[in-house]
Amino acid sequence: MQARIFDYEGERRCDSRVDLVKAAISTVDRAVQGKGIAAMKISAMGPPVLLERMSDGIRELQSFYSHLCDEQECALSYEELKEALVSVSGSCNTADIEDRFAELDDDGDGKVDLMEWMNSVSLGELSEIMMREPGVEGPRLETVLTEDDLRLLQSMYHRVDAVCKAAFDSGVKILIDAEWTAIQPAIDKVATSMMRKYNRDDRKGPIVFNTYQTYLKDARQRVRRDLQMDGSARVLLDESCWRLRLSKPVSGYRFACKVVRGAYIVSERMKAEEDGRESPICDTYEATSASYHGVIEDLLDHASRPSIIIATHNAETVKFAVGKLSDCPPERRDDVMFAQLYGMADPITYILAKEGYRA
Q: What is the pLDDT of residues 179-228, one digit of tens each?
A: 999 999 999 989 988 998 999 999 999 999 999 999 999 999 999 988 87
Question: Side by side, which strands form the sheet with 208-213?
Answer: 37-40, 173-176, 208-213, 256-260, 307-311, 336-339
Domain 8-46+146-354 has CATH 3.60.15.10: no
For the domain bounded by 62-142, which CATH number is listed? 1.10.238.10
Instruction: Determine the Cα–Cα distance for residues 30 and 13; give it in Å rounded to an integer.
Output: 26
Instruction: Determine the Cα–Cα distance for residues 151 and 16; give it in Å rounded to an integer.
Output: 18
**Structure confidence at residue 90 as a pLDDT band (50, 70, 90):** low
Dihedral pair phi/psi, residue 77, rounded to 5°? -85, 170
Q: Are 154 and 24 in contact (CB under 8 A)?
A: no
More confident residue, 24 or 149: 24
Instruction: Determine the Cα–Cα distance for residues 198 and 214; give it in Å rounded to an integer.
Output: 25
Beta bridge partners of 105: none
- pLDDT tens-digit readout, 288-337: 999 999 999 999 999 889 999 999 999 999 999 999 999 999 999 999 99
Determine how β-strand 336-339 pairs with β-strand 307-311.
Answer: parallel
Residue 339 has pLDDT above 80, yes or no: yes
| Domain extents in the chain | 8-46+146-354, 62-142
pTM here is 0.84
Dihedral pair phi/psi, residue 2, rounded to 5°? -65, 135
Instruction: Determine the Cα–Cα distance for residues 315 and 308; give it in Å rounded to an integer.
Output: 18
DSSP alpha helix (H) spans, 94-201: 94-104, 114-120, 123-132, 139-142, 147-170, 184-198
- 291-317 exposure pattern, b = at least 16 Cβ within 10 A, e = fewer: bbbbbbeebbebeebbbbbbbbebeeb
Q: Are 310 and 212 in contact (CB under 8 A)?
A: no
- Helix or strand (DSSP H, E) at 338: strand 336-339
Hey, which of 129-133, 147-151, 227-231, 322-326 has the most confident mean pLDDT?
Answer: 322-326
Q: Are 48 and 190 in contact (CB under 8 A)?
A: no
Residue 120 has pLDDT above 60, yes or no: yes
pLDDT of residue 195: 93
pLDDT of residue 242: 32
Region 156-185: mean pLDDT is 97
Counted residue by residue, the chain has a size of 359
